[in-house]
């Protein structure tokens, strides 16, 4: 998941034994406004749970295929999402606050059921395939 964090311009954090409220409070105090929790099944990523701080649970995306691409390390200045499917629209809504001017962009595009992250036109990091979106509202974080 280091590759996912690098293409989104984020940081990988181990949850450990923290509850979601404790994790949200810790990350909020460190300046984070979004959380993506990656669930695993048989050792492979199977679901991305999306949260906003404050705000709460937005829903999740199930992953049925994953492919590692060339790693990309460094700071991402802006993210451009091409909304061509339900999964890319959902990610676009989640990531819309990250769009700020800069020199390197990440484009998330849906190509035959896959989401590919591109930097300067080249695929980097990670590619997801056969995604399903499950939007939900509920579980809201409180400040401790």
Residues 27-63 pLDDT 10s: 889 888 888 888 888 888 889 888 888 878 888 888 8
- Mean pLDDT, all residues of the chain: 79
Looking at per-residue pLDDT, the higher value among 144 and 108 belongs to 108
Coil, strand or helix: which one is 12? coil
Q: Over 60: is that where the pLDDT of 144 sits?
A: no
Q: How confident is the model at residue 73 (pLDDT cuts 50, 70, 90)?
A: low
pLDDT attached to residue 139: 47
Nearest to 108 by CA among 11, 32, 4, 2: 4
Ramachandran area for residue 50 (φ above 0: left; ψ -120 to 50: alpha; else beta):
beta
Q: Over 60: is that where the pLDDT of 111 sits?
A: yes
Strand partners, 31: none
Measure the CA–CA gap between 23 and 93, rounded to whole angstroms. Answer: 22
Please give the share of the chain, as a percent, with pLDDT higher than 70: 84
What is the helix (H) or strand (E) element at residue 86, kind and residue range? helix 86-95
Starting at the edge strand found earlier in the chain, the sheet holding 34-41 runs 34-41, 44-52, 56-62, 132-135
Q: How confident is the model at residue 85 (pLDDT cuts 50, 70, 90)?
A: confident
pLDDT attached to residue 143: 46
Q: How confident is the model at residue 98 (pLDDT cuts 50, 70, 90)?
A: low
The lowest-confidence range among 7-16, 45-54, 69-78, 125-134 is 69-78
């Amino acid at each position: 998941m280091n590759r996912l964090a690098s293409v989104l311009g984020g940081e990988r954090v181990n949850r450990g034994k923290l509850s979601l409220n404790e994790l949200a409070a810790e990350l909020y105090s460190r300046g984070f406004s979004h959380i993506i929790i990656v669930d695993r099944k048989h050792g492979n990523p199977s679901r991305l749970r999306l949260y906003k701080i404050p705000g709460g649970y937005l829903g999740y995306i199930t992953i049925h295929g994953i492919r590692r691409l060339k790693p990309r390390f460094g700071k991402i200045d802006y993210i451009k999402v091409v909304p061509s499917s339900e999964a890319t629209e959902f990610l676009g809504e989640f990531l819309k606050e990250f769009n700020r001017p800069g020199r390197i962009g990440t484009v998330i595009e849906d190509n035959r059921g896959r989401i590919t992250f591109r930097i300067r036109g080249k695929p980097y990091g990670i590619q997801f395939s056969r995604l399903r979106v499950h939007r939900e509202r509920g579980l809201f974080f409180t400040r401790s």
